[in-house]
Structure 1
Amino acid sequence: MNRFDLYRGAGNPMFNDNKLKLGIFGPNVNNSCAMTLADTSFTPDFRTNVKIAKMMENAGYECIIPVARWRGFGGPSNFNGRCMETYTWAAAIAAVTEKIYLFCTSHVPTMHPIVASKMIATIDDISQGRIGLNIVNGWFPKELEMFGGKKMEHDKGYRYSTEWIEIVLKMWSEQYFDHKGEFFEIKDGWQEPKPVQNPRPVLINAGSSTAGMNFAARFADFHFSFLETYEQGREWTLHMKKLAWEEYHREINMFTTSFVVCRPTEKEAREFYDYYVREQGDWEVANIICDMFGIQSASNSQEFLTRARENFIAGWGGWALVGTPEQIAEEMVNLSKTGVSGTLVSFLDYVEEMPYFNETVLPLLEQAGIRNPVNQDLPVCQNT
């Protein structure tokens, strides 16, 4: 029996029968995924996050992934400057939820692997098998400088992450091991409790370079990436599945991310998009982030640059789901056809906008056969 079958047998929602799984990204940071100055009631505090998590459980969503941030990006909104730390966030949300799968996003240069492995195992006990780990190298130089270091050279960063996760995996499965590598030296590595999940907490990664995709193919259960077109999405999913199997004899699934503006009419949806993106968008922070990612005028047309910045402002570069419930459902069916296992959705205001999306779009996804009706009484994870 492979590890995916073990996860399914334990009732892990990340491996359920829904063809298109749903989660959200970034409810723990100010503005979540929208780089805007538009009015919103959303605040990244614990009470709001509990409301969101319970709405998601009632609607049958599979997961929540927080953003790990140590400082904002600047601009008028100081995008993501207010952030609840992800390990403590996950422990707190785990204690007040029952079904939804939670992830802890961890910048590996900021956390020793022994500490990380122990904290994840502790949250796994609190949640009874509902915590996973989002492994991030760390790419924002000003954050890493706060910890007394500099952003590592790219390939060195992935060597560091490889050694880091190898130690975590040993802490979860072995006792009294020694390790001496390029970055860490450990004598008699030991940990109790071990994670309750079988075979282990789910691992995700969003590496997009050659080294990043190889890292994901070797270690991750889910690879995350942005979709540019449906065809590119199909090529990406096929490439990653082939890479994981041929190089590491492993299975891997794919997830993407989307932003939602769902309204009764297309006109209303487009008008709201124009309001929060084009009129109230924080173009200064969008420029900062696009420059950081190398999306610059020297090699791209002005039309491409404007579109790229709009997409970042609207939802961190995710796939646009803007329109009526019927239009959005059709888009999500098409996303599923690319081979992705699911998408993280974001809203400008989760508490205000998610209920309408849940009431109108989710039934259409059930009718289309890519999601099953919600069984409110079914517990999700059964690892003990």
Structure 2
Amino acid sequence: MSRFDVFREAGNPMFNDNQLKLGIFGPNVNNSCAMTLAETTFKPNFETNVKIAKMMEEAGYECIVPVARWRGFGGPSNFNGQCMETYTWAAAMAAVTEKIYLFCTSHVPTMHPIVASKMLSTIDDISRGRIGLNTVVGWFPKEMEMFNGKKMEHDKGYQYATEWMEVVLKMWSEQFFDHKGEFFEIKDGWQEPKPTQSPRPVLISAGTSKKGREFSARFSDFNFGYIESMEHCTEWTNYMKKLAWEEYRREMNTFTTGFVVCRPTEKEAKEFYNYYVRELGDWEVANIICDMFGIESSSNSIEFLTKARENFIGGWGGWGFVGTPEQVADEMIRLSKTGVSGTLVSFVDYLEEMPYFNENVLPLLEQAGVRSPVKKEEPTFSDKRNSAIDVQEISQEAAASLALSR
């Protein structure tokens, strides 16, 4: 039985039968994914996050992925400057939810792998098997300077992340082990409890560079990425699946992200988009982030640069789902045909906008067959999960990763 089959058999929502899985991105940071000064009731606090999660569970969403952030990017909005730390966020959310799969986003340079593995196992127990790990190497220089003086060089960052993940996998699967590598030296490594999930918590990562994709193919169950077109989405998904299988004999899925502006009429949707992006968008912070990602004016047209910045303001560079319920649903159906497993979505105002999306778009996705209607009486993932760890399988995965690194 493959690793993915074990996840499915355990009832993990990330591996259910929905062709297009849905989650949300960044409910733990101010402005979530919208770089705007537009008014909103959204607040990145626990109370708001619980309300959002309850709506998601009732509507049948699969997951929530928080943003790991230690400081804002500046600009008038100081985008993402207010942020709930993701391990404590996940533990708190785990205690008040029942079905939704939660991810903990972790900058690996800021957390020792022994501490991370123990905390994740603790949250796994609290959630009854609903915690996953999103690994981030750390790309914002000012943020990394707060911890170790400077951001690691790109390839070295992934070498560090590789060894970090090897240690976490050993902590989850082995009883006692010694480890001596370039970055960590561990004597008699040991942890109890182990994760309750079988074969282990779901792993995701967002590497898009050559090294980032190699890391994701080697360790992750989902490669998280941004799409430039539907054709690009198909190419990226096929590439990642082929890379993971040919290089590491592993199954691999992909997940993307997008922002939603859904209104009764196309005119209303476009007017709100124009309001929060073009009129009240934080163009200063969009310029800061685009420059950081190398989207330079010298090598691109004015039209491309404007569209790129609009996309960041709209929802952190994600795909835009803007229009009527029918138009938004049609675009999501197009996305589902690319082979991608699902998309995270974001809203400017979750509490105001998500109910309309849930009531008017989700039924259309169900009618199209890309999502199944929510079964109110269906057992939750935590009820169906396998309470015993498949130690043999996870040990084999850890051993294979270690062998590949030598």
Residue-by-residue CA offset, 1:206-251 (whole Å, 9 max, x unaligned): 0000000000000000001111011111100110000000000000
Query: Would you say the 8 A contact 1:172–1:194 is kept in 2?
Result: yes
User: Which runs of structure 2 are paired with 1:33-52 in the superposition (5 Å)?
Assistant: 33-52=33-52
Matched residue, 1:146? 146
Q: Is the partner of 1:321 in helix, strand or coil?
A: strand
Q: Is the partner of 1:147 in helix, strand or coil?
A: helix
Unaligned runs of 5+ in 2: 388-406
CA distance in 2, matches of 1:347, 1:139: 25
Matched residue, 1:383? 386
1:199 lines up with 2:202 in the alignment: no
CA distance in 2, matches of 1:302, 1:164: 41
1:312 lines up with 2:315 in the alignment: no
User: Which runs of structure 2 are paired with 1:10-29 in the superposition (5 Å)?
Assistant: 10-29=10-29
CA distance in 1, matches of 2:233, 2:147: 36
Residue-by-residue CA offset, 1:326-372 (whole Å, 9 max, x unaligned): 00000000001111000000000001000000000000000000000
C-alpha displacement of 1:257? 0.2
CA distance in 1, matches of 2:86, 2:343: 20
Q: Is the partner of 1:197 in helix, strand or coil?
A: coil
CA distance in 1, matches of 2:271, 2:116: 44
Q: Is the partner of 1:356 in helix, strand or coil?
A: helix
Matched residue, 1:321? 321
CA distance in 2, matches of 1:223, 1:176: 31
Q: Is the partner of 2:361 in helix, strand or coil?
A: helix
Q: Which amino acid aligns with 1:223?
A: N
Matched residue, 1:238? 238
Matched residue, 2:349? 349
Matched residue, 2:399? none
Give the paired residue count.
Answer: 384
Q: Is the partner of 1:269 in helix, strand or coil?
A: helix
C-alpha displacement of 1:175? 1.2
Query: Would you say the 8 A contact 1:321–1:331 is kept in 2?
Result: yes
Q: Is the partner of 1:217 in helix, strand or coil?
A: helix
Residue-by-residue CA offset, 1:269-310 (whole Å, 9 max, x unaligned): 000000000000000000000000000101111110000000
1:215 lines up with 2:215 in the alignment: yes
User: Which runs of structure 2 are paired with 1:141-180 in the superposition (5 Å)?
Assistant: 141-180=141-180
C-alpha displacement of 1:148? 2.9
1:281 lines up with 2:281 in the alignment: yes
Matched residue, 1:82? 82
1:182 lines up with 2:182 in the alignment: yes
Q: CA RMSD in A?
A: 0.5
Matched residue, 2:127? 127
Unaligned runs of 5+ in 1: none
Once the two structures are overlaid, the 10-residue window that deviates more, 141-150 or 154-163, is 141-150
Q: Is the partner of 2:69 in helix, strand or coil?
A: coil
Matched residue, 1:248? 248
Q: Is the partner of 1:135 in helix, strand or coil?
A: strand
Q: Is the partner of 2:148 in helix, strand or coil?
A: coil
CA distance in 1, matches of 2:38, 2:298: 31
C-alpha displacement of 1:376? 1.9
CA distance in 2, matches of 1:34, 1:90: 22
CA distance in 2, matches of 1:134, 1:288: 24
Q: Is the partner of 1:281 in helix, strand or coil?
A: coil
CA distance in 1, matches of 2:46, 2:67: 14
CA distance in 2, matches of 1:187, 1:128: 30
Q: Which amino acid aligns with 1:110?
A: T
CA distance in 2, matches of 1:177, 1:316: 41
User: Which runs of structure 2 are paired with 1:354-365 in the superposition (5 Å)?
Assistant: 354-365=354-365
CA distance in 1, matches of 2:85, 2:30: 12
Query: Would you say the 8 A contact 1:66–1:105 is kept in 2?
Result: yes
Matched residue, 2:395? none
Q: Which amino acid aligns with 2:58?
A: N
CA distance in 2, matches of 1:344, 1:111: 25
CA distance in 2, matches of 1:266, 1:335: 20
Q: Which amino acid aligns with 1:95?
A: A
User: Which runs of structure 2 are paired with 1:285-304 in the superposition (5 Å)?
Assistant: 285-304=285-304
1:367 lines up with 2:381 in the alignment: no
Q: Which amino acid aligns with 1:302?
A: I
Query: Would you say the 8 A contact 1:128–1:383 is kept in 2?
Result: no
C-alpha displacement of 1:383? 2.8
CA distance in 1, matches of 2:176, 2:242: 35
Residue-by-residue CA offset, 1:39-95 (whole Å, 9 max, x unaligned): 000000000000000000000000000000000000000000000000000000000
TM-score by length of 1: 0.99
Matched residue, 1:111? 111
C-alpha displacement of 1:179? 0.3
CA distance in 2, matches of 1:77, 1:344: 23
C-alpha displacement of 1:172? 0.2
Q: Which amino acid aligns with 2:204?
A: I
Once the two structures are overlaid, the 10-residue window that deviates more, 63-72 or 144-153, is 144-153
C-alpha displacement of 1:30? 0.1
CA distance in 1, matches of 2:191, 2:251: 28
Q: Which amino acid aligns with 2:224?
A: F
C-alpha displacement of 1:176? 1.0
Query: Would you say the 8 A contact 1:224–1:256 is kept in 2?
Result: yes
Residue-by-residue CA offset, 1:111-158 (whole Å, 9 max, x unaligned): 000000000000000000000000000000111111133111111000
